[in-house]
Amino acid sequence: MKKKIVLSLIALSSITLAACGNTDKKAEKDDTPKQKVESSQSSATKTSESKKETKEEVSGDFVKSAKDATFNGTTLKGNSYTVKITSNKVIQPGEAGNEYGDKPVLAFWYDTLVSPDYKSDTAIDPSTAWLMNFKAVQDNDPNKVNELKVAGLPDEQFLDSQMAKIKPGGTVSNAVAYELSDNDTPVTLIAGRMGNEYGKAEFSVK
């Protein structure tokens, strides 16, 4: 399984964000109200600059371009595909989903949705969609960032579909787990790619 995930990660490295393949080069329209300023000239300048920096809000499951990708703690929304967390829980050693581990794990269940407009030859699978965009951190070390290791698949129903190629417009479910280093410190799930952070959320391990 690990070999398959590594190969898939290499294959998908050409996608700007697993959730955002192609970049829309058209100028984005921004209807967000701007703060009042003293002079109309200054206001016009600030409005122009704000249009360049503000991510365009769109309804539905996808954003318009890769630069608009966001993570609100539940959904990583991109323009090529989107990852939606459906549930999470801590699994103790010996319990179903963590039968062979000696430490508790924090498991996430999620859906990966591929845009109907996705036309790249690079196939998207649920395991790579998650691993290319998320990392989990347990902030319990005073000297270094404690990024958690990915544990074994916590739900055997996904054994045959975790690396499945998702069709444009399709949705495939999967699960992933992280090995905890203590039973008290919350886990921060961070979404991002290539130095760009799209958002983060904290999950209790109690």
Q: How many residues can be counted in the chain? A: 206
Instruction: Average the pLDDT over 87-96 and give the result.
Output: 98
Residue 110's pLDDT is 98
pLDDT in tens, 154-176: 999 999 999 999 999 999 999 99
Cα gap 18→9, rounded to integer Å: 10
Helix (H, G, I), strand (E, B) or coil at 47: helix
Cα gap 29→34, rounded to integer Å: 14
- Regarding predicted confidence, which is higher, 30 or 58? 58
Closest CA to 1 of 176, 167, 148: 176
pLDDT in tens, 70-79: 999 999 999 9
Residue 109 gets the label, from left (phi > 0), alpha (psi -120 to 50) or beta, of beta
Place of tokens 């983060």: 200
CA angle, 144 then 193 then 188, to 5°: 45
